[in-house]
Amino acid sequence: MGIVNVTPDSFFAGSRVNAPAQISRRAERMAAEGADMVDIGACSTRPGAEIVGADEEWRRLEAGIAAVRRAVGTDIPVSVDTFRADVARRAVEAGADIINDISGGNLDSGMFAAVAELKVPYILMHMRGTPATMQTLTDYDGNIAACVARELSGPLRRLEEAGVADIIVDPGFGFAKTLRQNWELARDMESLEILNRPMLVGVSRKSMLVKLLNISADEALPATTALNFAMLERGAAILRVHDVAEARQATAMYAAISS
């Protein structure tokens, strides 16, 4: 899953594209490098981020979806990174195929019903609170991976009861987790297999790498690739990445060594 951020403030500056021509070129390059899908984000949710209003989020997304579709046609599914049910509806009407919700339904009570009605795949991510408060909500009772699995099981059940059939789970690296907890979660990722759903992992250039190695996000591609390989070993089915070519190499090596 290639990341296209149509925002001015996402944590990795290299992922930001705003002009339609830039967005199209980014999507076209990702497709050429082997992306299986493209994820468009229009509202930064990095720790402490100021959340833009729904109208502004949709203005950015509408242009982003159109630009990506011009570049890749209908060959590659388009995912939209939003926690708002109304934005999700508009996005699917405009051609999006997947809803990627960082809040796991916690920031909009209408999201699960909307996804059920839209009949699209849904990515259920683990987070507590909001981007502004999540790093104050890192108290977990016991093993972090087991806690994440337990906290995802409730919304997963509600989604199933609502009739959502295609659900992907995301443990939410960097969201309501300390540096140590992120690495403990990475170590014990296989605990999430109890949810019996495909796992998406997004660790690309994140602070868990930057802080551990005392580097910048610009310097974190080698570490990202190494951790992506480790996540494949621990059951990841989808890698959400800024750098598609390198992630594709990691998946090819994993396939070769696992066969």
Burial 99-134 (b: 16+ CB within 10 A, else e): bbbbbbbbbbeebbebbbebebbbbbbbbbbbbeeb
Q: Which two tokens stand for residue 89?
A: 């509806």
- Find the catalytic residue in 206, 211, 234, 248: 206
Active site residue 240: yes
- Find the catalytic residue in 119, 150, 240, 248: 240
Distance CA 124, CA 75 (A): 24
Distance CA 199, CA 254 (A): 16
Where do we find the tokens 């190499």?
249
Distance CA 15, CA 46 (A): 13
- Point out the residues that are catalytic: 206, 240
